[in-house]
Amino acid sequence: MPKVSVIIPAYNASEYLSQTLESVLVQTYRDFEIILVDDGSTDETDQIIAKYRSHLNVIQQENKGPGAARNAGLNIAVGEYLVFLDADDLLTPRKFAFQAAFLDQNPGIGIVYSDGFLFKNKPKGEEERLLFSKSIYLNKNLSGPERSLKILALKNAFPIHAAMLRAEIAQKIGGFDEARELSILADWDFWYRAAKTYQFAYLDEVLALYRVIEGGISRNKNNLMRSTQFLERKIESSDDFFNFPKCTKSQFYFYNGLRALKFGDQDGARSRLKKSVRCNHGNIPAWLFLLLSIINGKMAINIFRFLSKTPLAR
- Write the pLDDT tens digit of every residue in 143-202: 999 999 999 999 999 999 999 999 999 999 999 999 989 988 999 999 999 999 999 999
CA distances (Å), 192 to each of 13, 137, 177, 244, 275, in order? 27, 16, 12, 14, 22
224: Cβ contacts below 8 Å, ≥ 6 apart = 184, 218, 263
Comparison of pLDDT for 307 and 217, the residue scoring more: 307
Start-to-end CA distance of the chain, whole Å, equals: 43
Output the pLDDT for position 125: 73
Q: What is the CATH number of domain 4-219?
A: 3.90.550.10
CA distances (Å), 139 to each of 158, 198, 266, in order? 7, 17, 28
Q: In terms of C-beta density within 10 A (0-12 exposed, 13-18 middle, 19 or more buried), how is residue 255 classed?
A: middle
The answer to whether residue 219 scores a pLDDT higher than 70 is no
Among 16, 10, 6, smallest CA distance to 213 is for 16
The answer to whether residue 314 scores a pLDDT higher than 50 is no
CA gap 24, 22 in Å, rounded: 5
The answer to whether residue 139 scores a pLDDT higher than 60 is yes
Output the pLDDT for position 307: 62
- The β-bridge relationship of strands 56-61 and 32-39 is parallel
CA gap 141, 147 in Å, rounded: 8
Q: Where are the domains of the chain?
A: 4-219, 245-314
Q: Are 246 and 279 in contact (CB under 8 A)?
A: yes
Greatest pairwise CA separation for the chain in angstroms: 62
DSSP 274: H
- The residues that bridge with 112 in the sheet, in sequence order, are 164, 201
Backbone φ and ψ for 36, nearest 5 degrees, come out as -110, 125
Give the confidence band of 308 by pLDDT, cuts at 50, 70, 90: low
- Write the pLDDT tens digit of every residue in 81-132: 999 999 999 999 999 999 999 999 999 999 999 999 999 987 777 889 999 9
Average predicted confidence (pLDDT) for the chain: 92
Q: CA torsion angle for 180, 184, 185, 189 (degrees, to 10)?
A: 50
Output the pLDDT for position 245: 96
The answer to whether residue 289 scores a pLDDT higher than 80 is yes
CA gap 208, 216 in Å, rounded: 19
Of the listed ranges 204-208, 294-298, 303-307, the one predicted with least confidence: 303-307
